[in-house]
Amino acid sequence: MTEDYDRFRLWYVQPLRTLEAMPAGQGGFVALATACFLYEHYAIAALQAQGKKADRPGILNQLGNDFSVDNATAKAFWDVIRDGLLHQGMPMQKKHGKLLPGFALHHSYPLMALENINGETWLKVQPWKFMDKVLSLWATNFELLRQSGSFPWANIGTVPA
């Protein structure tokens, strides 16, 4: 492995695995939020490497492809989980005055799925499966991390005096 991937493991993989080891899923929100921003970075890099536009529709399509879900599930995940956790620290429940699907996180759920329960739409997410998939995407496509123009991989060094 490269020195960069070793740092990725130190900065992200090991802390996420520590969160996963906490009892009763207590680290799930933080792990899911971290996996969301790691996935967003991955999706943008993957789209750009393919010469595609890395806008919201492109990212939702990439999410659908990477996680084998339809567009409605990808959109619900992005609105409720990604936008909610990364903007306010909680899944979002309203957007532009409109109710979004309810959300539920549990270790027995599929990675992500929309489900109709008693006439209401729910987004079910298994945080650890999402995290594992994101880490796997980076492990097999790590060269994409260096390709970001706006958010390049951090270097470690000393600051000149």
Q: How far apart are CA 120 and CA 117, in angstroms?
A: 5
* Overall domain count for the chain: 1
Q: Domain for residue 52, yes or no?
A: yes
Q: Has residue 66 been placed in a domain? A: yes
Residue 153, pLDDT > 70, answer yes
Q: To 5 degrees, how large is the angle CA 129–CA 134–CA 137?
A: 125
Distances (CA, A) of 88 to 28, 76, 125: 16, 16, 18
- Does residue 53 fall inside a structural domain? yes
For residue range 132-142, what is the model confidence (pLDDT) as tens digits? Answer: 999 999 999 98
Predicted local confidence at residue 143, as pLDDT: 86
Domain assignment of residue 40, yes or no: yes
Provide long-range contacts, Cβ within 8 A and 24+ apart, for 108-117. 111/67, 112/67, 112/69, 112/73, 112/77, 113/69, 113/73, 114/72, 114/73, 114/76
Residue 46 maps to a domain: yes
pLDDT of residue 12: 96
Is residue 106 included in any domain, yes or no? no
Confidence (pTM)? 0.92
Residue type, 57: P
- Asked whether the beta carbons of 112 and 124 are under 8 A apart, the reply is yes
**Tens digit of pLDDT for each residue in 63-89?**
999 999 999 999 999 999 999 999 998
Q: How confident is the model at residue 42 (pLDDT cuts 50, 70, 90)?
A: very high
Measured in residues, the chain has a length of 161
Whether 36 is covered by a domain: the verdict is: yes
* Domain that residue 141 falls in: 3-99+128-147
Residue 32, pLDDT > 70, answer yes
Q: Is 87 within a domain?
A: yes
Residue 95, Ramachandran bin (φ over 0: left; ψ between -120 and 50: alpha; else beta): beta
